[in-house]
A and B are shown apart, each in its own frame.
Chain A
Amino acid sequence: MTDLSAVHPHQEVDLSFVEPDEELALVTWINRLLTESDIRRLVFGRFKLERNAAGLWHGRAFGEFWRETHPRGIEVKGATLSHLSIKHEGGLWTVRLVVDI
């Protein structure tokens, strides 16, 4: 975890997956990002996730390799299913996700 505004979008990662359940899709997306971040030593600052008509989720994350100047907070082990919810009310999306640290 770091200051997203300081992250340059030099690197791009593409991810695709199928998950009919929106909440589980959110957990999948976050966990895939954590894996990519860990393996490629990347920090992401911008994200885009879309679902096409066939139900395939396609996500893109933009960022850069970790630098000394990026303060690194606690390590996130994974997104959990605890208190997981996505609500869409009155044009407002409310998302709740708990991560294990």
Chain B
Amino acid sequence: MGFISGKGEKRTPVVLFGTEPLIRQMDDKVLEQIINTSRLPGLAGSALTMPDAHWGCGFPIGGVAAFDAGQGGVISAGGVGFDNSCGIRTLLTDLTEEKTAPKFESLADELFRRVPAGVGQESSFPFSLPEHGFGEKADLDRIEEGGCMPEARPESVSEKAKIRQQEEMGTLGSGNHYLEVQVVDKIQDPNVAKAFGLFEGQILVSLHCGSRGLGHQIGTDTMMEFVKAAPRWKIVLPDRELACAPIRSEAGQRYLGAMNATINVALANRQILSQTVRNVMGEIFPGIVLDTLYDVSHNTCKEELHRIGDRSRPLFVHRKAATRALGPGHPSLPSVYRSPGQPVFIGGSIGSGSWILAGVSQSEELSFSSASHGAGRSMSRHEALRRFSGRMVKKELLSRGIHIRSNSLRGIAEEAPGAYKDIDQVAEATEIAGLAKRVAFLRPRVCLKG
């Protein structure tokens, strides 16, 4: 980590977290993009990249930057990402791999039949959900913000965005989204694992998806609005993808309200998917317990209180493909996680496994309580298609006991484990950097891809 200066310009506060091998793997664009990000008005502290960072649109993927509204700070749709509130929800079961393994194939088939996954896969769920039947009260305590962003302004969401979402509630989407049945393969921190309800051999289910078409519409519309209005706000954009608005402007407030509403849509989407998983697994494993461990988004901008220097102040923290990771004692955590810290998920690609970590106190000072969100791509989708065959990847994974289901062999090739960085390196680097600590490694057994 360190400060980086441009030619003849003031010192730019930029910090890249990662071990030397991971930093060396990062494409040059990451550095360029985070420097550009740090030059936006009202930056508080440093602009950061997490150990899984790679090139993105405007902000790098894995970028974190906080802005102070009182200092002319800005909000950027590109800093949130087009898939607003994409995130991971993990469900705990009381099942063990030993007892469930014979049914993995039929479980994979039934989940694939009932969970709409892939481009154009529609759902029959209404946009306005009925009040009952899609979850358990205990879920709310295990979701960020108690399951609802109070500052949401649905009236700021365009009709077009709402129409796009009509048949997409309860769908997984495509790209790097997934539904995985996993096994707790290795416990790294027994005390925290116990507090999280984890034990070796346990079956978990993780969902990775976001706000679908509604989020895409808001992201693209807002970016165009902000880039055209930038001269009016006297904002000089080092890169048009960094289009942003002053937080206190009408446009900034309107986007903030719409984005918060989008977060609620994403949470509802993962709630429906969770309930579908409960229904399917309840039929195959009668009496199964499926409790929410935690639901955390990794494409957001949230107003949070952070200490810089000797005083705390409200900041708008952009996390673009970076997970919030609150340490022990944080008042925003549900009581069950006040002692161990927040569950943090680093999701892997198909076949490579995932890590559960716990938030640590020092990440507040280091990274506005943020950590890595995934393995991070090591090559483009185009390059992955050139190197891997979807059919071969599926076959190879099956030989390792991993059942892949997808409508797209192309999608499997693009998401091949070899197209991502080593997730163990990312998790280790996250811990070494002091952003979160490793708790348990999860091995996939069933994976649905879009």
Residues of A within 8 A of B (CB): 24, 27-28, 31, 34-35, 38-39, 41, 66, 71-75, 77-82, 84, 98, 100-101
Contacts and interface: CB of A to CB of B under 8 A. Distances in A.
Contact of A72 (B118, B223, B240, B243): B118
Nearest to A40: B163
Contacts of A75: 118-120, 173-175, 450
Interface of B: 57-58, 82-83, 118-120, 160, 163-164, 173-175, 213, 216-217, 219-221, 223-224, 227-228, 239-241, 243, 381, 407-408, 410-411, 414, 450
Contacts of A24: 224, 227-228
A75 B217 CA distance: 13
Nearest to B450: A75
Contact of A101 (B120, B164, B175, B408): B175
Contact of B220 (A73, A74, A78): A78
Contacts of B164: 35, 38-39
Given A75-B450, A77-B82, A81-B240, A98 B410 contact: no
A27 B227 CA distance: 12
Contacts of A27: 224
B132 to A, nearest CB: 30
A78 B228 contact: no
15 contacts: A31-B220, A34-B216, A35-B160, A72-B119, A72-B120, A72-B408, A74-B175, A74-B381, A74-B408, A74-B410, A75-B118, A75-B120, A78-B216, A78-B219, A81-B239
Nearest to B217: A35
A45 to B, nearest CB: 16
A79 B57 CA distance: 10
Contacts of B120: 41, 66, 72, 75
Contacts of A79: 220
B381 A77 contact: no
Contact of A74 (B221, B223, B241, B411): B411
List of 9 A-B pairs having minimum Cβ-Cβ separation, nearest first: A78-B220, A75-B174, A81-B240, A77-B216, A75-B119, A77-B82, A72-B119, A80-B57, A100-B82
B224 A98 contact: no
Contacts of B119: 72-75
A81 B223 contact: yes
A70 to B, nearest CB: 9
A79 to B, nearest CB: 7
B355 to A, nearest CB: 25
Contacts of B239: 81-82
B241 A80 contact: yes
Nearest to B164: A38
B113 to A, nearest CB: 16
Contacts of A84: 240
A5 to B, nearest CB: 18
Contacts of B213: 38
B364 to A, nearest CB: 31
B82 A78 contact: yes
B220 A82 contact: no
Contacts of A78: 82, 216, 219-220
Contacts of A31: 220-221, 224
Contacts of B173: 75
A57 to B, nearest CB: 14
A2 to B, nearest CB: 10
Contact of A82 (B57, B217, B450): B57
B24 to A, nearest CB: 24
A99 to B, nearest CB: 10
